[in-house]
Amino acid sequence: MLRKGILLGLACVMLMGLVVFAQEPVTIEFWHSMSSGHQPYLVDLVNKFMEEYPYITVNLTYQGGYGDTEDKVEASVVAGTPPTMVQLYENVITPLVEVLYPIGPHMTQAEKDDILDGLVPNNTFDGVLVSVPWNKSIMVLYYRSDLIATPPTTWEEFAIMAADLTVDVDGDGVIDRYGTGLRPYNPELFLNYLIQNGGTILNDDWSAVTIGDQKGVEAMQYAESLVPSSYISSGYLSDAVGQDLVAMFVDTSAGYYYNHKAAVDNGFELACARVPAGPVNNSSAIQGTNLVVFDMGQTQAQKDAAVLLARFLIRPENTVAWSLRGGYLPVVKSAYENQDWLDFLADNPDYVVMSEAMIDGFAQILHPNYGLMRGAIGSAFEEVILAASSAVDAMANLVLDLTDLLEY
């Protein structure tokens, strides 16, 4: 009996030792770009994570805007001392894949299947889920519900309604309110038109530029046709809404707070709808960053801890908490059935639209030069919107610019 007790005691001690060994303290660096507005919510989530995994300490460090963070990450990679975890855009991830620790192979199949379909390709490199989506927003149609009873659902309806709503109220020859508003440099808006028309930027293996084909030209011509009914401003269109200058416009869901506030503060009503559908679909652009884990001098314990944090942050309840407080949209399917999210939708019908759009949205391509390609697309769009070039000519020049950027 005594011998059994001693053996049991020894076994318990060994087991405890194993547990202690498995939970050896580990510290990871998490670089992010969430400024004062969003930072408290991220801190709360990370604190919750550290409560659940008390042996992990997360040093959360704000690195400035996305561009600043990218610069610092690049400098740290050159120095061979990158942080354990960072939030980055897809095209920034592509040239770094070689030194990243893929998160996907350390997730359960159920977790991987739960990620929104539109967000899987832009986190997958050579068939492996390397990163996971994090703070995401989507483009939707904002419309003055005090002027528009039923929002347009197709390109044609949108164009007709925009023309009808462009009015010179006092008859002085100056348009007082435009049917829609356009920011000249708006690559995502053009990409909406392109994808909705069945077009693509590049072919599958990135060996050729396809944006200049018939579908691309038609997409640009559609944008061109909207110019006479558009208030054109380089600033955010929330200002124009507040000044009663536009009746409807397409913008990111991340701008919801500002657009809504500008309208309400000036006595107008603003609502959201899906972007009008093109000939092929009504998919719209998803924007935002993803989480990556570095494998460049990090210990196995650090990489494991970072993977745990990434998995934790995209759990349904956490992506919902992040979205509710941070203004983004959940990145996993099950989050859209989460009771907190459903309760939120019941009180905020505009977010129903955003949720629906998110399910079938499209994300950016992974080409390392996508940043410059995006810039070139924005410039071509700008040339057309400012009537400096025809849609056909702008697309021809765009093809030349993108061809120069194919090589990486």
Sites of contact with another protein (CB under 8 A): 67, 71, 74, 77-78, 92, 95-96, 98-99, 184-185, 232-235, 368-369, 371-372, 374-375, 379, 382-383, 386, 388, 397, 401, 404-405
Least separation in angstroms between residue 375's CB and another protein is 4
Nearer Cβ to another protein (53/236): 236
Q: Least distance in Å: CB of 361 to another protein?
A: 23
Q: Give which of 133, 132, 143, 138 is closest to 180, Cα–Cα.
A: 143
402/399 Cα distance (integer angstroms): 5
Q: Distances from the Cα of 245 to the Cαs of 129, 144, 156, 258, in angstroms?
A: 45, 11, 22, 16
Q: Taking the complex as a whole, how short is the minimal distance between the CB of residue 376 and another protein, in angstroms?
A: 9
Residue number, 127 or 235, with CB nearest to another protein: 235
State the minimum distance, in angstroms, from the CB of residue 114 to another protein. Answer: 31
Cβ atoms of residues 73 and 82 within 8 Å: yes
The smaller minimum CB distance to another protein, of residues 24 and 407, is found at 407
Question: Using CA atoms, how far apart are residues 336 and 320, in angstroms rounded to an integer?
Answer: 8
| CA 305 – CA 358 distance, rounded (Å) | 29
What dihedral do alpha carbons 374, 131, 99, 42 form, nearest 10°? 90
Q: Toward another protein, which CB reaches closer, 149 or 174? A: 174
Residue whose CB is less far from another protein, 98 or 347: 98
Radius of gyration of the chain (CA): 24
Q: How far is the CB of 71 from another protein (least distance, A)?
A: 7
Let me know: does 62 contact 34? Beta carbons within 8 Å.
yes
Looking up tokens 């990090």 gives 298
Smallest Cα–Cα separation from 226: which of 273, 169, 182? Answer: 182
The b-or-e profile of 175-210 (16+ CB within 10 A means b, else e) is bebbbbbbbbebbbbbbbbbbbbbbbbbeeebeebb
Nearer to another protein, 42 or 380 (CB): 380
Nearer to another protein, 76 or 338 (CB): 76
**Crossing angle, helix 187-196 and helix 214-226, to 10 degrees?**
120
Angle subtended at Cα 261 by Cα 258 and Cα 267, rounded to the nearest 5 degrees: 145
Closest to another protein by CB, 116 or 384: 384
CB of 373 to another protein, least distance (A): 9
Tell the smallest beta-carbon distance from residue 191 to another protein (Å): 15
In the structure, how many helices (H) and strands (E) does the chain have? 16, 11
Are 191 and 378 a contacting pair, CB within 8 Å?
A: no
| Cβ density class 341-352: b for 16+ within 10 Å, e for less | beebbeeeebbe
- Per-residue burial over 277-292, b if 16 or more Cβ lie within 10 Å, else e, is bbeeebbbbbbbbbbb
Q: Using CA atoms, how far apart are residues 148 and 248, in angstroms rounded to an integer?
A: 9
